[in-house]
């Protein structure tokens, strides 16, 4: 890949369920421990023994990205719920518009044939 190639690292890591950080990304399922450091940073210990040290700015960037992803997920869930409600309402309307067995259909009122 050439150095001119552009790609969206946040999109790729998000699609894979990873959390990006300065220098890479990690699988949140592998986090064993998270600890605040004295300089308002964060230390993340992963299950395979790796340690990720983040300074305060890195932590803020990670927090903003996680919040952004959660907001996007919530928006998608709301849209899916709206679509589901509209579909259900459409089905209910269709069912209610058709005569059901046992329902009496009122006679046509107006000019028509008389017996």
C-alpha to C-alpha distance for 42 and 60, rounded to whole angstroms: 10
The predicted pLDDT at position 96 comes to 81
In this prediction the pTM is 0.62
Order of strands across the sheet that contains 42-46: 31-36, 42-46, 51-54
List pLDDT tens digits, range 29-42. 999 999 999 999 99
Which tokens hold the place of 103?
């329902």
Mean pLDDT for 45-60 is 93
Which of the four pLDDT bands, split at 50, 70 and 90, describes residue 8?
confident
Q: 44 with 62: CB under 8 angstroms?
A: no
Question: At 60, phi and psi to the nearest 5?
Answer: -65, -45
Which tokens hold the place of 15?
């699609």
Mean pLDDT for 87-91 is 91
């Amino acid at each position: 890949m050439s150095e001119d190639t552009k790609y969206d690292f946040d999109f790729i890591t998000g699609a894979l369920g990873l959390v990006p950080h300065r220098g890479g990304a990690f699988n949140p399922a592998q986090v064993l421990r998270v600890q605040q450091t004295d300089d308002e940073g964060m230390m993340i210990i992963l299950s395979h023994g790796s340690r990720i040290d983040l300074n305060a700015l890195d932590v803020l960037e990670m927090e903003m990205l996680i919040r952004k992803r959660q907001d996007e997920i919530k928006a998608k869930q709301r849209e899916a719920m709206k679509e589901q409600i509209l579909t259900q309402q459409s089905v209910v309307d269709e069912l209610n518009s058709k005569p059901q067995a046992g329902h009496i259909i009122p006679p046509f009122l107006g000019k028509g044939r008389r017996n």
